[in-house]
Amino acid sequence: MTGMEVTAEELKSLLVDQLEVIEEAAFEKVRAMANRLRVPIEYTLAERGQVPLGFLLQQLAQAWDVGFIDLKINDVNSEALRLVPEKYARAHTLIPFALKERRLHVAMCHPRDRRVIADIEQLAGRQVIPYLAPDGAIRRAHLLYKGDLRDMLERSVANETSTVTTQRRPGAEDPTAGDLVTPILEYAAVSRASDIHIEPYELEAIIRYRIDGTLQEVLSLPSTMLPPWWHVSKSWPACGSTKDGPRRMGVSRPT
């Protein structure tokens, strides 16, 4: 978990003194817990239910005189993405997401880091407009460096379907089904899906993602992959949070 470059005193001044959204005693209790658990205080504030993280980030961005963006997959422009190398973006927890009038808009965990901003301007040859963004949203967006994930997902299904064999050792995990798990979960993470539904039918299996509360059909698997999919799905974990990926993954056993 990456913390922002913000001190506890700065947060206290903002939340207790200026905005008055939390009492000083409650803030000090959260600060003590963050120190004890050795986690960033801003996440402790959010997880303890005192201050929603989105609200906190928006208020910090305003105080720092930078923009704020709750980054989503559709916000990221491929042309902007190509201007900053993936290795650098991951190392500094940032993602370039828009290019407008020779200005590169960059979502960052540390939008006040002038050294990093200067580096990006030199790398990209563009003026940088920094934005504060949630750490999880930036890390999900890093998956976009792999290209169009939906296109890659569809091609993975096509490739794996062509290599499905009917001869397998009893109880053995089918490698073609297992190889599809990663792109399916990556697409769920980038699209911020809360659930993955795999619905088996006689001739195909439909994969749906719940995005913004609505189930959306994304992919179809051939019926030949249903038995290996059932075997692989039994090892999938039940996730309890949507911060870095889907909350629930469900597969109905084919009949």
Work out the average pLDDT over 186-204.
Answer: 78
pLDDT of residue 192: 77
State the pLDDT at residue 32: 93
DSSP-assigned beta bridge partners for residue 94: 108
pLDDT at 239: 46
Predicted local confidence at residue 185, as pLDDT: 79
pLDDT at residue number 98: 97
Check residue 242 and give its pLDDT.
45
In the numeric block, the tokens 């974990």 are attached to 237
Task: Kindly indicate the confidence band of residue 208, based on its pLDDT and cuts at 50, 70 and 90.
Answer: confident
pLDDT for the residue 168: 47
Quick one: pLDDT at residue 167? Answer: 45
At residue 219, the pLDDT reads 74
pLDDT at 191 over 50: yes
Q: What is the pLDDT of residue 254?
A: 44
* pTM as predicted: 0.69
pLDDT of residue 186: 77
Query: Would you list the DSSP string of the chain?
Result: -PPPS--HHHHHIIIIIIS--S-HHHHHHHHHHHHHHT--HHHHHHHTTSS-HHHHHHHHHHHHT-EE----GGG--HHHHTTS-HHHHHHTTEEEEEEETTEEEEEES-TT-HHHHHHHHHHHSSEEEEEE--HHHHHHHGGGGG--HHHHHHHHHHHHHHH--S---TTPPPHHHHHHHHHHHHHHHHTT-SEEEEEE-SSEEEEEEEETTEEEEEEEEEGGGHHHHHHHHTT------SSSS-SEEEEPPP-
Q: Is residue 184 over pLDDT 70?
A: yes
Residue with tokens 């169009």: 148
Mean pLDDT, all residues of the chain:
79
CATH code for the structural domain at 67-142: 3.30.300.160
**Average pLDDT, stretch 113-136?**
96
* Whole-number pLDDT of residue 250: 53
Q: 221 versus 161: which is more confidently predicted? A: 221
Environment class of 45 (CB within 10 Å of its CB; exposed 0-12, middle 13-18, buried 19+):
buried
Dist CA 33 CA 26 (whole Å) = 11
Residue 240 pLDDT: 42
Q: At 162, give phi and psi (nearest 5°).
A: -70, -15
Provide Rg for the chain, Cα atoms. Answer: 22
> Is the model's pLDDT at 181 over the cut of 80?
no
Return the pLDDT at 198.
78
Task: Please give the single-letter amino acid code of residue 229.
Answer: W
Going by CATH, does the domain composed of 148-251 fall within 3.30.70? Answer: no
- Per the model's pLDDT, the better-predicted residue between 166 and 134 turns out to be 134
Higher pLDDT, 72 or 160: 72
pLDDT, mean of residues 212-228: 71
- Predicted local confidence at residue 241, as pLDDT: 40
The whole-number pLDDT of residue 224 equals 64
Top pLDDT among 177 and 93 is at: 93
CA 120 → CA 69, 70, 127, 236, distances in Å? 19, 21, 9, 39
Other Cβ atoms closer than 10 A to 20:
8
